[in-house]
Amino acid sequence: MHPVLKTVLERLGLGLATLFVVSIIIFSAIELLPGDFGQAVLGQSATEETIAAFRRELGLDQPAYLRYLHWVGNAVQGDFGTSFSGRNSGSSGAGTRSVVDLIAPRFWNTLFLASVTATIAVPISLVLGITTALYRNSAYDRTVNTVTLTTISFPEFFVAYILILILGSLWPIFPSLANVNDSTPLGERLFRTVLPALTLTLVIIAHMMRMTRAAIINLLASPYIQMARLSGASRSEVILKHALPNAWAPIATVIAFNLAYLVVGVVVVEVVFVYPGIGQLMVDAVTARDIPVVQGCALIFAMTYILLNLIADIIGIITNPRLLHPK
């Protein structure tokens, strides 16, 4: 078997093992929450008989390990269970919705917001990282570093409210609420997601820009770079043709980390802008103690984060074969 393929399969196996461990942590964390789920869903006025019937209907009377195996087995088949919402009347599942039906449109909205943000942030970060490395220690380099470090030093909600104040209130250019739905046209959807996308861009751009800059500057001290300079190559040719191709591994890693953050870390931004994403859904589910939805959202977050990190790891292996044979 080719060493690259073998290493990729090993990383995939490690990712599946990590997801298994994370699923145990998610289930255990939910189990350790205080209070009775049946009482919380049905309310204080529910009788003990109603609560007991509710727990039997949902399988909450079974041992924890059986419920975990049942949950994982169904999750592997794409079934995350049924939402507790709509059961507060004590009816036998009437009016309930599957967790997949609740998560799917919200997850698509989050992916859309993450895609718009990545489309803006990644090219800008690469351009700023390359140009600041090209003009290292210049006034341009210091200015870009100062601005990006300033934006990343503020909490997300603060950046979001500042943008709402400036672009949504004082100069009402964009809507302050990103309330989109399935019937929203693409153009209108893009217009309404400008402020949350801009907030996320300002938050993550510093990470990617500084990592790109650091990776290129680190490679500029390599012997082959010195040889390229001695051969008469210009600074731009040295960076674009010689340094940048060898810097893709760390750059891809930091981009994947930030893309993972865009999917799993947008809870605050979605809540501020009332954006109907999976982060907002998870917050609402935690408030309503809708445990199947919370577990489903957490597992989706974990799968997305692990998958993007696996992709970054594989890109690093392919673009840097020396990782296959560490000394």
Q: Average pLDDT over the chain, rounded to whole?
A: 81
Which whole number is the average pLDDT over 258-283?
A: 84
Sorted by where each begins, the domain ranges of the chain are: 104-290
Concatenating the DSSP letter of every residue in 151-164 gives HHHS-HHHHHHHHI
Helix (H, G, I), strand (E, B) or coil at 127: helix
pLDDT at 302 over 80: yes
Has this prediction a pTM greater than 0.75? yes
* Residue 44: pLDDT over 70: no
Residue 93: predicted pLDDT: 47
**Total count of residues recorded for the chain:** 327
Quick check: 271 pLDDT over 70?
yes
Residue 49 pLDDT: 77
Given a cut of 50, whether residue 219 has pLDDT beyond it is yes
Please report the pLDDT score of residue 89 as a whole number. Answer: 45
Structure tokens at 284: 């609402």
- At residue 91, the pLDDT reads 46
Residues with Cβ within 8 Å of 301's Cβ and at least 6 positions away in sequence, in order, are 263, 264, 278
| pLDDT(92) > 50 | no
Question: Domain 104-290 adopts which CATH fold?
Answer: MetI-like fold (1.10.3720)
Q: Token pair for residue 122? A: 């990644």
pLDDT band of residue 35 (cuts 50, 70, 90) is: low
Pick the more confident residue, 32 or 281: 281
